[in-house]
Amino acid sequence: MSDNDNLSSAYAEKCSKLLEENEIRFSGIVDKEGNLVVGGFKEGLTPYEGDETKLQSFFDFVSKASIRKEFDESLGPINYLAARRDKAVLVSFPFPVSHILLLISAEPTVNIENLAKKVVDIFSGVN
């Protein structure tokens, strides 16, 4: 098994762990080309109409925002980007070393700060 296969396997396991959370609908790793590498929607969940398209549009937005570095020196790097909508919360976590993003879709009731802490706990050591 190559290092990339091991890394993909580790990310897949961590995305699955996130999907165990009640409020998380989607958890996936997206590469810099916008391709879903691992992850997906929670099993048994019926995605909202157009969820896949909306997630792709959100990825396009956050990937552009994540690569912008003009405020990194004064404010520090981006830890995560979040968008709260009426029907869902979309959150992305950039992994700059490996040039990928963790993309999460959650119920609108999710506490974003608690979600961020959970992501850090689950993904620490993988990068």
Here the CATH number for the domain that contains residue 104 is 3.30.450.30
- What's the structural domain count of the chain? 1
Domain that includes residue 92, residue range? 3-123
Question: Do 28 and 42 contact (CB within 8 A), yes or no?
Answer: no
**What's the pLDDT at 126?**
57
Residue the block writes with tokens 């580790």: 10
**Which residues in 69-108 are b (16+ Cβ under 10 Å) and which e?**
eeeeeeeeebebbbeeeeebbbbbbbeeeeebbbbbbbee
What are the pLDDT tens digits along the chain (127 aa)?
444 566 688 899 999 999 999 999 999 998 877 788 899 989 988 777 666 776 677 767 766 666 667 788 888 888 888 889 898 898 989 887 778 889 999 999 999 999 999 999 998 865 4
pTM of the model: 0.82
**What's the pLDDT at 104?**
93
Structure tokens at 116: 């961020």
Q: Please state, in angstroms and rounded to a whole number, the distance separating the CA atoms of residues 106 and 124.
A: 21
Helix (H, G, I), strand (E, B) or coil at 87: coil
